[in-house]
Structure 1
Amino acid sequence: MFQDPLTQNYDAIVVGSGATGGWAAKRLSEAGLSVALLEAGRSVSPKEFTEHMPAFQLKYRNVSMDWLKSRPIQRQCYACMEYNYDWFVDDLQNPYSTPADRPFSWQRLRILGGRTLVWGRQSYRLSDLDFKAASHDGYGQDWPISYKDLAPYYDIVEDYVGISGAAEANDALPDGHFLPPMKMSCGEVHFRNVSAKRFARTVTIGRTAIITQNHNGRVACHYCGPCERGCSTFSYFSSPFTTVKDALKTGKCTLITNAIAAQVNMQRDSNRATGVTFVDGLTRQAKTVRAKTVILCAQALESTRILLNSRIGNSSGLLGRGLMDHSTGSGASGELAQFDERPSPYSGPHRANGIYVIRFRNTSKGSQQKNFIRGYGFQGSAVPGHNFNAPGFGADFKRAVKDGAYSINLGTFGESLARDVNFVSIDPNLKDAWGIPALHISMAHGENEKALHADAGAAAAEMLAAAGAKNIRIKTTVAEPGMAIHELGTARMGDDPKKSVTDAYCQLHDVPNV
């Protein structure tokens, strides 16, 4: 007999169906608990996937005017295009504010699975260089957990998801449970060998959530390329076709789509949450769902927005503070002239993955830097391609582009320090299309990030030069915050309620059933 999902009292409400929300729904429902899974967007079907469709088959050849007008922020992301732009939020309906001199690019999806539909799939374990960073350099606070605490859960996730990669026995980047790695190109093998011999730096194939052999009912990757447009064989991890699917299979999980969470509801005169009020994205009606526990998995900034609008969890005064995003922008590129392979439909490797240079700064006493703390890694590749950086004009330029070059590039992903001057708050004068108060985001990279990226650009160029690269181009600047699409922070984890928002289990100090 049908029962209205809004009349039930669930064991748990999970807000958000992406990477963490899918896992929460799966684990709880498989344990026998009743779960309401709230997703702000609509459902998604494999029929929408366009990874094999060329641009000339699109109505507007990938320059739709609606895409250009409605997603001015979202289309800064390489993954947002005419093929799939309706997966991303409409920026006009979902505004946020920033100071004029502190821009922030906030990339968001509103659809079942969230950003797991378009993510870059790189999957790396953190180490105690991350968890205990304050003990290494004296800045900030250590996490209340260690690598040892998380290692068994990393194992569970990797065994289920399927992470292809190679073990390297490098303490800065712990090894995991890997499927066979994707193969490097000959240029990448050369770069790896030179980097190890000349600098004692580890270059490995990217550790990616793309399966290289059939795994858990999913088919191995066939290397078609544009994963951000969906995968008909489900070869990369996305929650709708893995964790959420498993949760729904139990019969204990109720999925409610188009449910835009507005606030966590509280029991009067207590510190217990009773459920969530959401706005129906289609009817704009406010509705309430009840549960014993509320789990916010709406990504860092949306989860904090819900808490701020609920006016809970902030006895420390730190809710919204310490906003971070991986800092990007620096790096180097060039051409490996010693390799004569030229671009063709068969030149490879056709893989949605690159190489990774494991962190080598501030990892031990011999690698300490004087002008910045923490560190960075490089993502990159070395493959034959058309040489759009060729000098010249006219026929000579066209010939040089067509002949191509064996390009090599490294891009930096660096740590950004947690600082209270980087924060989110509720903008008192701005609401979204559903009447929910919107965020004000204020973040800027500091001197540590600038020094880190100056070093990273120089180090990348040095490594390319050692590999024999020519026409090396260096970037040492830091990109606008948000462009890494790795935003985090704003609800610090810790043992002391006066210095943190949640405990070691991510429970609010103030409201333990959230």
Structure 2
Amino acid sequence: MNHHKHPEPPIPPGKKFDAIVVGSGISGGWSAKELSEKGLNVLLLERGRMIEHVTDYHTATKAPWEFPHHNQQMPLELLKKYPVQNRTGFSITEATHHHFVNDLENPYVEEKPFDWIRGYHVGGKSLMWGRYSFRFSDLDFEANAKEGIGTDWPIRYKDLAPWYDYVERFAGIAGDRDRLPHLPDGQFQPALPDNCVEKHFRKSVNTLFPDRKVISARAAHLTAPTQQQINLGRAKCQFRNLCMRGCPYGAYFSTQSATLPAARRTKRLTVRPHSIVNSIIYDEQKGRATGVRVIDEQTHQWHEFRANIIFLNASALGSTYILMNSKSGRFPNGMDDSGQLGRNLMDHHFHVGATAEYEHDLDNYYYGRHPAGLYVPRFRNLPGQPKQDFKRGYGFEVYTNRENWEHAFGEEGFGADFKEKATQFGKWKITLDAFGECMPYEDNRVYLTDELTDKWGQPVLKMDVHYRENEALMRKDAHDQAVQMLEKAGFSDIEGFDAQAHPGLSIHEMGTARMGTSPKNSVFNKFNQHQVVKNVFCTDGACMTSSPCQNPSLTYMALSARAADFAMKALKRGDI
């Protein structure tokens, strides 16, 4: 498969597209693929630069000594550009910093601390995501209605199940069929193998805790590529675990490896990078959107592009920003009648759990570095269980590793004995990190402010979001349960932790333009179609009505494919 550049010819003024997709990340790539495969001429707008598959992954195959500072530290001059992105503690390295935004050019206002982690380039965060891919279930879709919280999801599991099947087959998800009603099984390739510590933890917890089941993480990595995936130039995961640099093998799902080549095959896709979508153009007479206003990232010139339908996939806060900025006579406060735009911002709260050491199997090691470990699915507040003092639940991501020669960094000594000692592997380590559901609070919100402007003169978002009592109670339980599981499973040197991460740091922003059952309670309907402006759709994190503790990206994929199918049929019928 060739990986040459795809220079796009300039778009002639006045050209009209069938569809515009805003944003090229996980959901935008899917929207572009589905709409173009269904016969539409699609314009895919991305605010950042082009990153071509393979050829633009400049650090993907570099060894540590090929970096000026051996990928151990960042030059201070460069770090100044990433005061927020660097809060993750892992993103900004010599190998990966170019995949994250320059915070100085893209500011925002923090009424309360909010860590907004972003990647502005073709592919978006699909190049750097964690790749854990879990379905939601009716336990999740029904929770708001049953508890009288927020508003009811307008869909149920049966609406999404066939679309989960569809996107999993295409994307490639490694996992096991675990027969858990609250974490439905999917279309899986063989799961990533366990190392000896994972085997021990899985067996111990599954035996000692009848209310929970440790499973293989379901991860978007090819372990047995299908012909469809091979035809796109994708190959099996190599267990390099350098995923954040971009995968030259196309082994994990990203826009570059999967949806973009599929969309390009149709010859109906135009990709325009460096295109900052400022707002949607609304025709007061026709009562519909006619296109978008774009600022060229490099020249700062304004453009207008026209289309019959618009898919917003700019990320939860990116899409909401565009809707808020889309003001007109009909929509003086942004494109919404419900008053919910910008509200109910959720993010998983995490960085709570426990770490420990494992003193057995020291003669065992494992091949490669596998890119996903184990998962302990939610085991609190399930049907038929005693109620906790908090609502909803959390799941644990389980990471294991073994100290390698780095354990000798601080050792004193020299000569043959020292070398021998330094080349021995150190101890096995295990970490349980909980990801907990955050409730949809109406006053957890973002809004536009002119206090600051970005590099292009646009207003910026102001974040007013914090976790509440329910999240605090859940964290206490997650901490205690992590410690208890490790104790009972016979680990040593167990330490519980609660690092009190701020919203945003989990990088699972959800809400702010939620789906719902009527224009009074929501911005989008059950097909992710705008409640009032019928030719505008949104299938990224903005549309989420609650924030189940599972990682959400797979659900964005399924919603995107489903909404594209609905939009296409509605166009043919002349409904939009």
Q: TM-score, normalised by structure 1?
A: 0.94
- Contact 2:195–2:366 at 8 Å: present in 1 too? no
Q: Distance in 2 between matches of 1:452 and 1:193?
A: 25
- Contact 2:402–2:425 at 8 Å: present in 1 too? no
For 1:210, which of 221, 241, 251 is the aligned residue?
221
- Contact 1:376–1:414 at 8 Å: present in 2 too? yes
CA positional deviation for 1:205: 1.1
CA positional deviation for 1:270: 4.2
Any idea what SS the aligned residue of 2:276 has?
A: strand
Q: 1:373 corresponds to which residue?
A: 391
Deviations 1:306-339 (A, max 9, x none): 0101133321111000000011121101012233
Q: 2:55 corresponds to which residue?
A: 47
Q: Distance in 2 between matches of 1:86 and 1:337?
A: 39
CA positional deviation for 1:428: 2.1
Aligned partner letter, 1:12: A
Is 1:427–2:427 an aligned residue pair? no
Any idea what SS the aligned residue of 2:165 has?
A: helix
CA positional deviation for 1:76: 2.4
Q: Distance in 2 between matches of 1:141 and 1:394?
A: 58
Q: Distance in 1 between matches of 2:44 and 2:465?
A: 31
Is 1:192–2:202 an aligned residue pair? yes
Any idea what SS the aligned residue of 2:55 has?
A: helix
For 1:25, which of 18, 28, 32 is the aligned residue?
32
Q: Distance in 2 between matches of 1:361 and 1:349?
A: 34
Aligned 1:344-359 pairs, distance under 5 A: 347-348=366-367, 350-359=369-378
Q: 2:403 corresponds to which residue?
A: 385
CA positional deviation for 1:403: 5.4
With over 3 angstroms needed to count, the CA separation of the structure-2 counterparts of 1:389 and 1:304, relative to structure 1, is: farther
Q: Distance in 1 between matches of 2:386 and 2:144?
A: 17
With over 3 angstroms needed to count, the CA separation of the structure-2 counterparts of 1:459 and 1:388, relative to structure 1, is: farther
Aligned 1:5-20 pairs, distance under 5 A: 5-20=12-27
Residue identity (%): 40
For 2:489, which of 453, 467, 473 is the aligned residue?
467
- Contact 2:36–2:269 at 8 Å: present in 1 too? yes
- Contact 2:33–2:262 at 8 Å: present in 1 too? yes
CA positional deviation for 1:400: 10
Aligned partner letter, 1:15: V
- Contact 1:260–1:279 at 8 Å: present in 2 too? yes
With over 3 angstroms needed to count, the CA separation of the structure-2 counterparts of 1:208 and 1:135, relative to structure 1, is: same
CA positional deviation for 1:71: 1.1
Q: Which moved more, 1:415-424 or 1:135-144?
A: 135-144
Q: Which moved more, 1:136-145 or 1:291-300?
A: 136-145
Aligned partner letter, 2:132: Q
- Contact 1:341–1:384 at 8 Å: present in 2 too? no
Q: 2:255 corresponds to which residue?
A: 239
Q: Distance in 1 between matches of 2:94 and 2:315?
A: 24
- Contact 1:6–1:290 at 8 Å: present in 2 too? no
Q: Distance in 2 between matches of 1:3 and 1:486?
A: 35
Is 1:316–2:338 an aligned residue pair? yes
Q: TM-score, normalised by structure 2?
A: 0.84
Q: Distance in 2 between matches of 1:76 and 1:55?
A: 23
Q: Distance in 2 between matches of 1:510 and 1:66?
A: 48
- Contact 2:375–2:397 at 8 Å: present in 1 too? yes
CA positional deviation for 1:510: 2.1
Any idea what SS the aligned residue of 2:149 has?
A: coil
- Contact 1:126–1:147 at 8 Å: present in 2 too? yes
Q: Distance in 2 between matches of 1:491 and 1:148?
A: 23
Instruction: Give unmatched runs, 5+ long, in structure 2.
Output: 1-8, 328-333, 537-576
Any idea what SS the aligned residue of 1:365 has?
A: coil
Aligned partner letter, 2:61: H
Aligned partner letter, 1:305: Y
Q: Distance in 2 between matches of 1:341 and 1:367?
A: 42
CA positional deviation for 1:384: 2.4
Q: Distance in 1 between matches of 2:10 and 2:507?
A: 39
Instruction: Give unmatched runs, 5+ long, in structure 1.
Output: none
- Contact 1:184–1:349 at 8 Å: present in 2 too? no
Aligned partner letter, 2:398: G
Q: Distance in 2 between matches of 1:44 and 1:349?
A: 27
CA positional deviation for 1:340: 2.0
Aligned partner letter, 1:190: H
Any idea what SS the aligned residue of 1:464 has?
A: helix
With over 3 angstroms needed to count, the CA separation of the structure-2 counterparts of 1:60 and 1:394, relative to structure 1, is: closer
Aligned partner letter, 2:288: R
Q: Distance in 2 between matches of 1:15 and 1:381?
A: 35
- Contact 2:43–2:272 at 8 Å: present in 1 too? yes
Q: 1:79 corresponds to which residue?
A: 91
With over 3 angstroms needed to count, the CA separation of the structure-2 counterparts of 1:320 and 1:341, relative to structure 1, is: farther
For 1:483, which of 501, 505, 509 is the aligned residue?
505
Any idea what SS the aligned residue of 1:366 has?
A: coil
Q: Which moved more, 1:60-69 or 1:416-425?
A: 60-69
Q: Which moved more, 1:264-273 or 1:419-428?
A: 264-273
Any idea what SS the aligned residue of 1:331 has?
A: strand
Q: Distance in 2 between matches of 1:466 and 1:6?
A: 68
Deviations 1:252-272 (A, max 9, x none): 111111000000001134421
Aligned 1:249-328 pairs, distance under 5 A: 249-311=265-327, 312-328=334-350
Length, aligned pairs only: 504
Q: Distance in 2 between matches of 1:60 and 1:407?
A: 27
Deviations 1:268-287 (A, max 9, x none): 34421010011001110000
Q: Distance in 1 between matches of 2:503 and 2:39?
A: 41
CA positional deviation for 1:242: 1.5
Q: 1:167 corresponds to which residue?
A: 177
Q: Distance in 2 between matches of 1:104 and 1:166?
A: 35
Is 1:457–2:479 an aligned residue pair? yes
Aligned 1:394-433 pairs, distance under 5 A: 395=412, 404-433=426-455
Q: Which moved more, 1:357-366 or 1:381-390?
A: 381-390
- Contact 1:51–1:231 at 8 Å: present in 2 too? yes
- Contact 1:348–1:383 at 8 Å: present in 2 too? no
Is 1:92–2:114 an aligned residue pair? no
CA positional deviation for 1:56: 2.2
With over 3 angstroms needed to count, the CA separation of the structure-2 counterparts of 1:246 and 1:313, relative to structure 1, is: same
CA positional deviation for 1:347: 4.1
Any idea what SS the aligned residue of 2:110 has?
A: coil
Q: 1:438 corresponds to which residue?
A: 460
For 1:363, which of 361, 382, 386 is the aligned residue?
382
CA positional deviation for 1:478: 3.0
Any idea what SS the aligned residue of 1:82 has?
A: coil
Aligned partner letter, 2:76: M
CA positional deviation for 1:66: 4.0
For 2:192, which of 179, 182, 191 is the aligned residue?
182
- Contact 1:458–1:476 at 8 Å: present in 2 too? no
With over 3 angstroms needed to count, the CA separation of the structure-2 counterparts of 1:3 and 1:86, relative to structure 1, is: closer
Aligned partner letter, 1:460: A
Any idea what SS the aligned residue of 2:462 has?
A: strand
- Contact 2:150–2:442 at 8 Å: present in 1 too? no
Q: Which moved more, 1:139-148 or 1:255-264?
A: 139-148
Q: 1:154 corresponds to which residue?
A: 164
